[in-house]
Structure formats: C-alpha cells, structure tokens
Amino acid sequence: MIGESPWWHYVVTALFAGVPALVGAGLIVAAVRHWSKLRTLTASGRQTTARVVDNQLESWSDGQTRFRPVVTFQTDSGQEVTTALADLDGFRSHIIGTEVPVIYDPQKPSEATPAQKGGGRLVTTVVVGMLFLVFAICAYPAITAVLDAFGDFGDFGSSVDSVDVSDPDFDFDFGDLETP
C-alpha cells in the first residue's frame, strides 16, 4: 500500500510544508537582493532628471496591462541613455514628456531607478515571504501529526493484511461463482 511506503510521508511533507518554505525564502532573498542593489545605487549613483518618452506594455493572461515608463536622460559625461524604469510600472500609462528624477550607475547608465523613496513593493514582498514561511512552519507539525495519526492508509478496519493461498488450510468456496 502507498501508506506503507516511507517516502509517502516525505512527499506530503515536502508538498505542503517544503514548497511554501522555499517560496517564502525565495521571496525574501529576492527582496533583500533588490533592496541591496537599490541601496548601493543610491549611495554611489548620480542623480539627474529623465523625461518619459514612451511606455512599455506588458499584457498578462488575465487581460490586465501594465505600463512601464521608458525614459531618456543625459549622463554627466554627455551620453544620452534611454531605458525603462521597472520600479515605476503600473496599470496607468505614463504621460509622455513628464520629468522624473532618477539615479543611475555611472558604470552602467542603463541601470537607473527613480530617485524617490518607494519601498512599498519590497515591504510587501518581504511580508508575503514571511507569511509563506510562517505557514510552512505551522503546517509541518500539523502534517506530521496527521500522517502519524493515519499511519497505514491501507489498514482501515481490516484485520487481515494478506491471504496466503498456498496455505493447505486455505479454503475458498467456488460454489457462489457463476460460470459462463
């Protein structure tokens, strides 16, 4: 029976506790890495004013469309850079010609971010990651208790585990069976 296999407990535990734990940890790690990148860029980057020249559209399968502003700015060395600002994407189109203060990396000017402090998405990502981790931590003992309580899934009310038909004392009455 499937319940007799020791791997079954591992599969159920991994599915209901391990996967949420990995998703939660992944979200937290991604948010911390993005925050670290933004912090480094803010500390060593250059600030300038960019102008919105276009919108990148991203269509989702549920019919929603997200708009990401494409901006142009000039670096301190005079290089003109055009890039999309991923941190400003939203459900509304950005007005062309609007000026946006940005911070860019002098080594990689195309890696720019809005100069305004907006950490709402990072906080939301960390909170969702924490919820996944808390769920996984709380689910683990519950899953273990349920699996231990049910034990062998194949032993519901049956006191006979198997029948040995090679036993000489085994008797089966074929009289009730119809023959074609």
**Has residue 55 been placed in a domain?**
yes
**Has residue 151 been placed in a domain?**
no
Distance separating alpha carbons of residues 165 and 77, to the nearest angstrom? 90
What ranges make up the beta strands (E) of 16-84? 46-59, 65-74, 80-84
**Mean pLDDT taken over the chain:** 82
Which pLDDT score, from 0 to 100, does residue 159 have?
47
**Has residue 25 been placed in a domain?**
yes
Q: Please, how many CA atoms are within 13 Å of residue 82, restricted to the half-sphere of its CB?
A: 6
Classify burial at 23, counting beta carbons within 10 Å of its beta carbon; exposed 0-12, middle 13-18, buried 19 or more: middle
**What is the count of structural domains for the chain?**
1
147-152: long-range contacts (C-beta < 8 A, 24 or more apart)?
A: 147/9, 147/12, 147/13, 150/3, 151/3, 152/1, 152/3, 152/4
The residue ranges of the chain whose pLDDT is under 50 are: 1, 3, 154-160
**Has residue 15 been placed in a domain?**
yes
pLDDT digits (tens, 9 = 90+) for 36-84: 988 888 888 999 999 999 998 888 888 888 899 999 999 999 999 999 9
**Has residue 159 been placed in a domain?**
no
**Has residue 35 been placed in a domain?**
yes
Which pLDDT score, from 0 to 100, does residue 179 have?
59
- What are the helix (H) ranges across 45-154? 120-150
Give the domain range for residue 104: 2-128
Which pLDDT score, from 0 to 100, does residue 84 have?
92
Which pLDDT score, from 0 to 100, does residue 14 have?
85
